[in-house]
Structure 1
Amino acid sequence: MTVVDPSAPTAPRSRNHGLHVEPLIGLEWADALEQPVAAAAARPAEARKSWVHRAHEAQVLALYLAAKAAEPDVPAPWWLRAVAAGALPSRREGFLVEDRVTKLLDARPGWVFVPWGVDGDTGYWEYMPSERRLSEPGMPTTLAHTDRHPGWIDVVAVHAGPPPAPIAVAGMADLRSNLARLESLTP
């Protein structure tokens, strides 16, 4: 019979040989955001294929809140951050915002949907004629959805070098009435 002294120091059971271990919730959330091939999407509705877009909204919100508790800056779609903050009533309302913007921009020449976004978002819009105003490589005028204000739309002017501060658009009526001005922004 072996007697173990509980106060004696114990040797480590294993060593971390350069392995990076992430909490399981982080991996589960990353999987929930994973977009199946969305490269061919011409509008946001065609790119809404990940679990966060299709699963029951209460499940999506619960998993997001758990992931956010583990990592406060966890990536998430703009509408989910807004729903979690109580600023947007539902995912469906977020999709309606995206679809209304799509209807407006699809009817105007020069706007192209880019189906890969950041932070789990579906994508963003670029105004391609604005690229012609750059004397060096840069970024065209870009429209993206945001949860940072209740208009849900930000526009970043065409630029070379560091991006300018986003212009907060106060919703669809503001976008519709100011779109020509936004398209004509210069670097």
Structure 2
Amino acid sequence: MDTGQGLENPIPHARTADNQPRLEPMLGLEWSQAIELPRSAASAIKPAELRRAWVHRAPEDHVLALFRASSGMGGPVPAPWWLRAIEDGRLETRAHGFRIEDRIAQLLGPRPGWEFAPWAADGESGYWEFMPSERGKSGHAIPTTVVNTDRHEGWIDVLPAHSGRTPEPIPVAGLAGLRSRLGEFEAGR
């Protein structure tokens, strides 16, 4: 018996097209898992050793589709520099981005003082630090840092050694530009 409060035997309403439940995928969580690196990545000594997340291994068209869907939900999402560049139509493929990272590793890895830092921001590919600049004559807390970027088509930025406020990144014209300016960057100029 219905007491008028509608609590005992509610009558279900027929579902119409306007009244269907909306099930949305949890894109934020899915994307977070897509860029998540295994714990062992913390010991990587070059970018190639970080490429163990789904975004590095899954078919590139699937990665791009999930990135686009995730980005469309509420603004930018953490992502590797190369994926943002592919999305913008300025980089051809993920493999091309990997080649750029690997060539930087081939240049900096053997040079004294350069160390790879695998603990970059979520989704990023790590960065290189020139450790002697950390102990430079000015007592910098943050060493000279080389990072990949999608800000320009040289794909490389250098942050000079500093303490306090982060300086503007110096855009570098690709691997040739980095090679030609390494002495300048290592000297702290």
What is the TM-score normalised by the length of structure 2?
Answer: 0.85
SS of residue matched to 1:125: strand
Aligned position for 2:13: none
Provide the C-alpha distance between the structure 2 equivalents of 1:57 and 1:134, rounded to a whole number of angstroms: 46
**Aligned residue identity for 2:26:** L
Residue in structure 2 matched with residue 107 of structure 1 by the alignment:
110
Whether 1:66 and 2:69 are equivalent positions in the alignment is: yes
C-alpha contact 1:134 1:160 (8 A) present in aligned 2:
no
Matched residue SS, 2:158:
strand
Kindly tell me: are residues 58 and 4 of structure 1, through their superposed partners in 2, closer, same or farther at Cα, counting changes over 3 Å?
A: farther
1:16 aligned partner = none
Q: d(CA) in 1 for partners of 2:140 and 2:181? A: 26
- The partner residue of 1:27 within 26, 29, 34 is 29
Q: CA deviation at 1:113?
A: 0.2
Q: Secondary structure at the match of 2:42?
A: coil
Distance 1:50 1:127 in 2: 27
Shift of the 58–134 alpha-carbon distance from structure 1 to 2, 3 Å rule, reads farther
SS at the partner of 2:43?
A: coil
How many residues in Structure 1 have an aligned counterpart in Structure 2? 170
Aligned to 2:20: none
1:81 aligned onto 2:84: yes
- 3-state SS of paired residue (1:107): coil
1:182 maps to: 185
Amino acid of the structure 1 residue aligned with 2:176: A
Counterpart in the other structure of 1:51: 54
Could you tell me which runs of 5 or more consecutive residues in structure 2 were left unpaired when the two chains were aligned: 7-24
What SS does the aligned partner of 1:116 have?
coil
Deviations 1:96-154 (A, max 9, x none): 00000000001211100001111411210000010111544610000000000000000
Distance 2:79 2:122 in 1: 5
Identity value in percent? 54
Structure 1 residue runs without a partner (length 5+): 6-22
The one-character-per-residue Cα deviations of 1:18-72 (angstroms, maximum 9, x if unpaired) are xxxxx71001000101000211100000111111011110000000000000121
Match of 1:162?
165
Distance 1:43 1:25, change over 3 A: same
Q: Matches of 2:5 and 2:81 in 1, distance apart?
A: 55
- Aligned partners of 1:157 and 1:166 also within 8 Å: yes
The answer to whether the 8 Å contact 1:157/1:182 transfers is yes
Query: Which protein has the larger Cα radius of gyration, Structure 1 or Structure 2?
Result: 2
Q: Where do residues 69-148 of structure 1 align in structure 2 (5 Å cutoff)? A: 69-133=72-136, 135-136=138-139, 138-148=141-151
Q: TM-score, normalised by structure 1?
A: 0.85
Q: Which moved more, 1:117-126 or 1:148-157?
A: 117-126
